């Protein structure tokens, strides 16, 4: 029984890595490279995408049987654009500092391949409950990808691990992990974003290859 549970946990963990939208499927890369300079930005964008992804999946699944095939893509885009507009207005109203940090990338959630991709590939073919679960899973996986990149870039680039309150911008905690003068400012730049992305993507690709071609014990 414990063996089955362990296998199930491993399968879930493996799926989160191998099917990660950013590093496994290479979707939503533009926003990932641009906003992962701090944990605050990563969490803000992650929550926004989860909100839009879950609701858009639910709505697309709800109207899938009454949407004509020849106009289903425009209908999905209207649904997604409406949700993104609402999300942007909420962020601007309640967390203006986060809205300023994320800038145009909030509006660009509309064209995020993850959102439209899940609507077309999954929500349009499955029930509302299954679509909501899929949106939550993919959104959570996307957020984990953002956090992984932002942690590496923030720590190596500034030497600090910090988090601010998105509502008041007050500092929640700030820990210096790298002594002053030993930071690597490259990681706060676009080049650092590409370098971090490449390293994580390569590691996940190697893990995926290891799963597909497991080494046999005992030299068999």
Please indicate, yes or no, if residue 99 is contained in any of the structural domains. yes
Taking the CA of residue 2 as centre, how many other CA atoms within 13 Å lie in the half-sphere pointing to its CB?
Answer: 0
| Domain count across the chain | 1
Answer yes or no: is 199 within a domain: yes
On whether residue 193 sits in a domain, the answer given is yes
Chain mean position to CA 131? 17
- 121 vs 32, 64, 117, 134, CA distance in Å? 22, 12, 6, 11
Q: Residue 199 is part of which domain span?
A: 21-214
In a domain, 1, yes or no: no
Q: How do residues 117-141 score in pLDDT, each as one tens digit?
A: 888 889 989 999 999 999 998 899 8
pLDDT digits (tens, 9 = 90+) for 36-63: 999 999 998 999 999 999 999 999 999 9
Which has the closest alpha carbon to 45: 110, 114, 119, 109?
109
Range with the poorest average pLDDT among 5-14, 128-137, 143-152: 5-14
Q: Is residue 5 part of a domain?
A: no
- Domain contains 13: no
Specify the pTM.
Answer: 0.84
The pLDDT value recorded for residue 14 is 67
Domain-embedded: residue 2: no
């Amino acid at each position: 029984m414990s063996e089955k549970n362990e296998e199930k946990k491993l399968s879930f963990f493996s799926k989160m890595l191998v099917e990660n939208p950013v590093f496994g499927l290479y979707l939503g890369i533009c926003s990932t490279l641009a906003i992962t300079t701090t944990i605050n930005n990563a969490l803000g964008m992650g929550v926004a995408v989860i909100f839009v992804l879950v609701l858009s999946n639910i709505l697309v699944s709800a109207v899938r049987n009454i949407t004509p095939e020849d106009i289903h893509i425009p209908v999905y885009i209207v649904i997604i654009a409406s949700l993104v507009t609402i999300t942007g207005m909420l962020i601007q109203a309640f967390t203006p500092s986060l809205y300023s940090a994320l800038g145009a990338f909030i509006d660009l959630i509309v064209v995020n391949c993850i959102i439209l991709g899940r609507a077309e590939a999954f929500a349009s073919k499955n029930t509302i409950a299954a679509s909501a679960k899929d949106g939550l899973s993919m959104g959570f996986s996307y957020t984990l990808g953002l956090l992984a990149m932002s942690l590496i870039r923030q720590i190596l680039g500034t030497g600090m691990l910090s988090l601010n309150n998105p509502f008041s911008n007050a500092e929640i905690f700030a820990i210096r992990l790298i002594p002053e003068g030993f930071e690597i400012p490259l990681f706060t730049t676009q080049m650092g974003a590409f370098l971090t992305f490449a390293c994580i993507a390569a590691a996940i690709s190697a893990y995926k290859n290891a799963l597909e071609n497991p080494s046999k014990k005992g030299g068999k």
